[in-house]
Amino acid sequence: MVTQLRRLNDIQQEVVRTARDFAEQELAPHVAEWDRRGHFPRAAVDALGELGFLGMLMPEEWGGSGLDTVTYLLALEEIAKVDPSLAVSMSVHNSLPSQMLLTYGTDELKERYLRSMTAGKMLAAFALSEADAGSDPAAMMCRAQLDGDRYVLNGAKAWVTNGGTADVIVAMARTSDDGARGISAFVIEPTWDGFSVGKEEKKMGLKSSNTTEIVFDDLEVPVANRLGEEGHGLKYALASLEHGRLGIAAQALGIAEACLTLSIDYARERHAFGQPIAEFQGLRFQLATLAAEVAAARALTYAAADKQDLGGSARKEVSMAKLLASQAAMKAAVNAVQVHGGYGYTRDYPVERYFRDAKVTQIYEGTSEIQQLVIASELFGD
Amino acid sequence: MKIAVCIKQVPEGDARLVIDADGISIADADLATEINESDQYALESGLRLAESQGGEVVVVCLGPDRAEEAIRRALAMGAGRAIHLNDPAFQGGDAAATARALAAAIERENVDLVLTGLQSDDAGWAQTGPILAARLGWPSATLIMEIEPEGDTIKVKRELEAGWFQWVRLPLPALLTIQSGISTVRYATLKGIMGAKKKEIAKVTPADIGLAPDEVGGAGRKTRTTRLYVPEKTTGAEIIEGDTATAVATLVEKLQKEAKVL
């Protein structure tokens, strides 16, 4: 890694090696084809699960590895360097639904879902956004009406990663009209009557990640499948996003690192005007500055992870990390296409894929503007 | 079945190698390393045998402190425990000196089978395994592509030249050197990595295995490396003229008679 700053401990070195070997041997040979076909590689997800990468942050009591956030992000980066699409599945699964079940789920729910999730036997999704409620989730319309011992859910959720492939989904729905305090969280199974997968998004990038709308039509959910208290769902979801955002920062760092490495390798090989283009100072300075920016974003991301591992909120640092890491990824990807010239604009080289994949890191799990809002609200103590 | 697997820590395949000031070794500070490739296959074979036959896999590794990384990896992949021949006296040995030390350690273990890689990716002598077998006084077979345990004996498939194979039966205990590609090497799972922390790594000195310091390592060498160097770049290419048929005929002739590669 050209921008790695940390000295890794024994466990971290081993985890990184397994993640890197897996990515290079099992993902790298297929990733371009998966992208072209928009193919979601379920077998690769299962293999990730068998290796333990889908329960990294969960305690051993629930079948996880009980690793810290730093180690988790290191592994996620290795996957993202090769396959950003698979990395987002891994990030979503490990952070949002797993964290919510661990923190707010009853032992019964954990036994039924979390244990299978950490073992990789159930892939999980997280459904917060709606077509008209993205950055402003409190505007959600999807309803959950209490009826005896069950809730009846109606409405649709949008932009659900793993939406059409998940075995379990943590979804937020409105249980009262009390704005942000009228939202509850539910654990639902896609096999239940009243659940259907809606439109699959035709995205610019992350093409082998499955992003869909999901639709609830009189979907009956047992009261026992509500997470925590009624009306607290949005608060829970936003707290779990703190973990999710660091995952996206790591995904962005993986993309940035891959783009830097590809740029350096190509610049050494490609000759123009009688010498490798790596000899031109214009290109060298660009890559030097970029490497420094990626390294800075990395330092910030892992500092935020350290703070999170020590306990307490790292809300501001997480948003700062996500803001800068996604910016670095986009810049590194744009630059990598430029370094590759005409070839970079073709599918014969992987940089155009990273270019398409990078953009969404500035959009999902809180746009850059939302990260700025969060940072500012921490600065001004709102 | 008790199986000892010998592993060596070597530089990673794409590591940038720098020749040390002594002119005969590679500078190893900050060098990215891995378990020697064919040793990984030896380990995988040992783990599969232990899983199908019952028994344990003991990893044996001669190397400095940094070799513990390779040992931990082997433990994370599933080996039960490890013996680390780690003492300044062990360093700088050739195949003969290393095999002598490994033999002394393995003799104390009552194993049924010793597996090594075919050869190391750095020094590449392909001798440590066979010399180790000779030291132990056991039969051995090299270039193994398949293993079939048969109780007191073991049947193995050897890779010969030109796509030929040979099946050989050996009485146990025996030693096999394993060819890369015999199977698919497993990844260390996260549970394996976490579990490896609790596994025993016994650190062994020459005295612990009944050897004098001058019998092993640099002092125990039978060979001497005189120079290590990167082949110098030379220029010189021959353009073969003429139409395709003539050019091909000339090329074939040159490859046969001058380059002697056909």
Question: How much is the pLDDT for A355?
Answer: 98
Comparing CB atoms, the residue among A13, A18, A65 nearest residue B69 is A13
* Model confidence at B156: pLDDT above 80: yes
User: What are the residue ranges spanned by the domains of chain B?
Assistant: 2-220
DSSP characters for B72-109? HHHHHHT-SEEEEE--GGGTT--HHHHHHHHHHHHHTT
Question: What is the band of B85 on the pLDDT scale with cuts at 50, 70, 90?
Answer: very high
* Model confidence at A2: pLDDT above 90: no
DSSP A228: S
Interface check A52 vs B, CB under 8 A: yes
Catalytically annotated residue among A78, A365, A369, A378: A365
Give mean pLDDT, residues B46-50.
Answer: 98
Interface of A with B in 9-48 (CB under 8 A): 10-11, 13-15, 17-18, 21-22
Interface check B196 vs A, CB under 8 A: yes
* Model confidence at B236: pLDDT above 80: no
Distance CA A85, CA A23 (A): 12
Question: How much is the pLDDT for B24?
Answer: 86
Interface check A111 vs B, CB under 8 A: no
User: The tokens 């205990």 sit on which residue?
Assistant: B173
- Which chain B residue lies closest to A7 (C-alpha atoms)? B30
Question: How much is the pLDDT for B121?
Answer: 92
Question: How much is the pLDDT for B22?
Answer: 87
A35 backbone dihedrals φ, ψ, rounded to 5°: -65, -45
Which amino acid belongs to residue A116?
S
* Model confidence at B29: pLDDT above 80: no
Comparing CB atoms, the residue among A22, A56, A65 nearest residue B187 is A22
A143-199: per-residue pLDDT in tens? 999 999 999 999 999 999 999 999 999 999 999 999 999 999 999 999 999 999 999
A283-301: per-residue pLDDT in tens? 999 999 999 999 999 999 9
Give A129's Cβ-side CA count (13 Å radius). Answer: 19
Interface check B194 vs A, CB under 8 A: yes
Question: How much is the pLDDT for A326?
Answer: 98
Interface check A50 vs B, CB under 8 A: yes
| Residue A347 CB neighbour total at 10 angstroms | 10
Beta-carbon separation of A17 and B72 below 8 A: no
Interface check A51 vs B, CB under 8 A: yes
- Which chain B residue lies closest to A50 (C-alpha atoms)? B189
Chain B CB contacts of A50 below 8 Å:
189
Q: For the range A137-143, what are the long-range contacts, defined as Cβ-Cβ under 8 Å and sequence gap of 24 or more? A: A137/A172, A137/A183, A137/A234, A137/A237, A137/A238, A138/A179, A138/A180, A138/A183, A138/A234, A140/A172, A140/A173, A140/A174, A140/A183, A141/A174, A142/A171, A142/A172, A142/A173, A142/A174, A142/A216, A143/A173, A143/A174, A143/A175
Give mean pLDDT, residues B71-86.
Answer: 97
Pairing of strands B2-7, B113-117: parallel
A232 backbone dihedrals φ, ψ, rounded to 5°: -105, 5
Beta-carbon separation of B189 and A14 below 8 A: no
CA-angle at A191, arms to A205 and A57, nearest 5°: 60
DSSP A111: I
A306-317: per-residue pLDDT in tens? 999 998 789 999
Beta-carbon separation of A51 and B76 below 8 A: no
Question: How much is the pLDDT for B32?
Answer: 87
Q: Tell me how long chain A is.
A: 382
Give mean pLDDT, residues B35-58.
Answer: 97
Give mean pLDDT, residues A42-59.
Answer: 96
Which of B3-12, B25-34, B106-115 is the least confident region?
B25-34
Comparing CB atoms, the residue among B69, B193, B197 nearest residue A18 is B193
Chain B CB contacts of A13 below 8 Å:
69
Beta-carbon separation of B190 and A13 below 8 A: no
Question: How much is the pLDDT for B258?
Answer: 85
Beta-carbon separation of B190 and A10 below 8 A: no
- Gap from A10 CA to chain B (nearest CA, Å): 8
Question: How much is the pLDDT for A226?
Answer: 98
pLDDT averaged over every residue in chain B: 94
* Model confidence at A107: pLDDT above 80: yes
* Model confidence at B27: pLDDT above 90: no
Architecture of domain B2-220: 3-Layer(aba) Sandwich (3.40)
A232-269: per-residue pLDDT in tens? 999 999 988 888 999 999 999 999 999 999 999 999 99
Question: How much is the pLDDT for A251?
Answer: 98
- Which chain B residue lies closest to A10 (C-alpha atoms)? B69
Top residue of A18, A25, A60 to mutate, by most chain B CBs within 10 Å, is: A18
Interface check B158 vs A, CB under 8 A: no
Distance CA A199, CA A72 (A): 32
Interface of B with A in 52-71 (CB under 8 A): 69
Question: How much is the pLDDT for B262?
Answer: 78
CA dist list (Å): B150 to A267, B140, B169: 56, 16, 9
Q: Which of B42, B74, B127 is nearest to A14 (CA)?
A: B74
Beta-carbon separation of B187 and A56 below 8 A: no
| Token reading at A243 | 């973990």
Question: How much is the pLDDT for B30?
Answer: 77
- Decide which of B89 and A2 is more confident: B89
Q: Using a pLDDT cut of 90, give the percent of chain B over it.
A: 81
Top residue of A11, A13, A14 to mutate, by most chain B CBs within 10 Å, is: A14
Comparing CB atoms, the residue among B187, B189, B193 nearest residue A11 is B193
DSSP characters for A249-263? HHHHHHHHHHHHHHH
B162-209: per-residue pLDDT in tens? 999 999 999 999 999 999 999 999 999 999 999 999 999 999 999 999
Beta-carbon separation of A21 and B197 below 8 A: no
Beta-carbon separation of B190 and A53 below 8 A: yes
Indicate if A365 belongs to the active site.
yes
Interface check A265 vs B, CB under 8 A: no
User: The tokens 């459904």 sit on which residue?
Assistant: A127
The answer to whether the beta carbons of residues B33 and A13 sit under 8 Å apart is: no
Q: Using a pLDDT cut of 70, give the percent of chain A over it.
A: 100
Chain B CB contacts of A52 below 8 Å:
189-191
Question: How much is the pLDDT for A290?
Answer: 97
| Residue B262 CB neighbour total at 10 angstroms | 10
Between A and B, how many CB-CB pairs are < 8 A?
38
* Model confidence at B259: pLDDT above 90: no
* Model confidence at B157: pLDDT above 90: yes
Which amino acid belongs to residue B154?
I
